[in-house]
Structure 1
Amino acid sequence: MTELFISAFITFFVVIDPPGCAPIYASLTGDASFAQRRNMAIRAVVVSALILAVFAIFGEQLLGALSISLDSFRIAGGIMLFMIALEMVFEKRTQRREDRAQEIIDQPEIEDVSIFPMAMPMIAGPGSIAAVMLLMSRSEDVESRLVIMGALGLVLLLTLIGLMLAGPLMRILGGNVEAVVTRLLGVLLGALAVQFVVDGLRGSF
């Protein structure tokens, strides 16, 4: 169970990327008060947690309704996560997030960023939804599923802390440290994504 928790934690941490969300959130909420930043951070994490929980619990039934096998989803999800990993290694994902954040900043009438773009698609995006469904599909008992949900909860808690401390963290870490961490996490995610594809191919053939 310890290995499952560590594997799930690394997967969620890499895909949700709390260190990458923090600077984006800081730039989006630069003019907000501390109370406003805190409330939006809590709202963003709660909404994203609900979205991911729905896909974790009902994702398998959704695949069944669409006549999609779990092995096919493992292959597709693994490919999707691998593409995210490539973007992280070459910093394209960071650039896309920054561009999206700048679009929000350029529209001053949009003040509450908790739902969009923080909850969706930055925290509960396609990558994290695919990851939670893949991990839950690999667990065969209630205990394993609780371990996976515990790992997800811990990552979301770290994300909440990162969002609430976004400003001070950015002053301490700086852009160079964030870039190095993002690349290292991208390599780990790439290896995990390949394993998902291998498991899917083994199950299919």
Structure 2
Amino acid sequence: MWGLDFREIVTISMVLFAVIDIVGTIPIIVDLRQKFGHIESEKASLAAGSIMITFLFAGEEFLKLIGTDVYSFAVAGSFVLFFLALEMILGIKIYKEEANTSASIVPLAFPLIAGAGTMTTLLSLRSQYASINIVIAIFLNVILVYGVLKSSAKIEKFLGKNGLGVIRKTFGVVLLAIAVKLFASNVKALF
């Protein structure tokens, strides 16, 4: 009915969870809270969800406007995911961010939650999954993001530095496997 597929929703949710890496960004969230005071969890979550859904539906038209297709974007996205996974697994920083000026929308909603990796992933997923399942997975992830933002201090205290490191590396390996799968399934369409 309407293309709903529970397995797809779970798969997409896990992919987005790994790419968004909200648990791995808890140290950044804590740092932002110390620098800027209170973070508006509702505002950040709604902004990130809006950005993701807008890009899911308008991103392909944008690509047509600049003269490329979803398959090319998906292959390029697989490289972005590959490097994000390497950052997570190896604990290195490949992408350097600009200085922060506010906390709730920039840099929290964009680019930390709904950044380039997330947008690339959404278009890559759109080439393989039904849009309704992706939208549901986005909503599930936004709810999770909201919960993590609201309780980030408690989560950090509970998991500790080592626990956060293990979770980050585990999702890095999952993301690496997803990057390889996206590359393999989309590169054929280019030739």
Aligned residues between the structures? 187
Mapped to 1, the partners of 2:43 and 2:115 lie a distance apart of 16
Match of 1:23 in 2: 27
Structure with greater proportional helix content? 1
Match of 1:184 in 2: 170
CA contact (8 A) 2:24 2:167 kept: no
Question: Secondary structure of the residue that 1:19 maps to in structure 2?
Answer: coil
Partner amino acid, structure 2, of 1:85: A
The runs of 5 or more residues in structure 1 that have no matched partner are 105-109
Mapped to 2, the partners of 1:63 and 1:129 lie a distance apart of 12
CA contact (8 A) 1:21 1:163 kept: no
Equivalences for residues 122-133 of structure 1 within 5 A: 122-133=112-123
Match of 1:6 in 2: 10
Mapped to 1, the partners of 2:133 and 2:69 lie a distance apart of 24
Please state if 1:117 is matched with 2:103: no
The C-alpha deviation readout for 1:40-73, integer Å capped at 9, x for no partner, is 1111111111111111011111111122122211
**Cα distance, 1:32 vs. partner?**
7.0
Give the share of equivalent positions with the same residue, in percent.
Answer: 27
Mapped to 2, the partners of 1:24 and 1:166 lie a distance apart of 10
- Which structure has the larger Rg over C-alpha atoms? 1
The C-alpha deviation readout for 1:102-155, integer Å capped at 9, x for no partner, is x64xxxxx5x4101110111011110011111112323xxxx211111111111
Match of 1:63 in 2: 63
Partner amino acid, structure 1, of 2:9: F
Question: Secondary structure of the residue that 2:34 maps to in structure 1?
Answer: coil
Mapped to 2, the partners of 1:26 and 1:42 lie a distance apart of 16
> TM-score, with normalisation over the residues of structure 1?
0.83
Equivalences for residues 97-176 of structure 1 within 5 A: 104=100, 112-139=102-129, 144-176=130-162
CA contact (8 A) 2:16 2:118 kept: yes
CA contact (8 A) 2:19 2:118 kept: yes
Mapped to 2, the partners of 1:192 and 1:31 lie a distance apart of 34
> TM-score, with normalisation over the residues of structure 2?
0.89
**Cα distance, 1:168 vs. partner?**
1.1
Mapped to 2, the partners of 1:47 and 1:152 lie a distance apart of 12
Mapped to 2, the partners of 1:169 and 1:2 lie a distance apart of 28
CA contact (8 A) 1:74 1:199 kept: no
The runs of 5 or more residues in structure 2 that have no matched partner are none
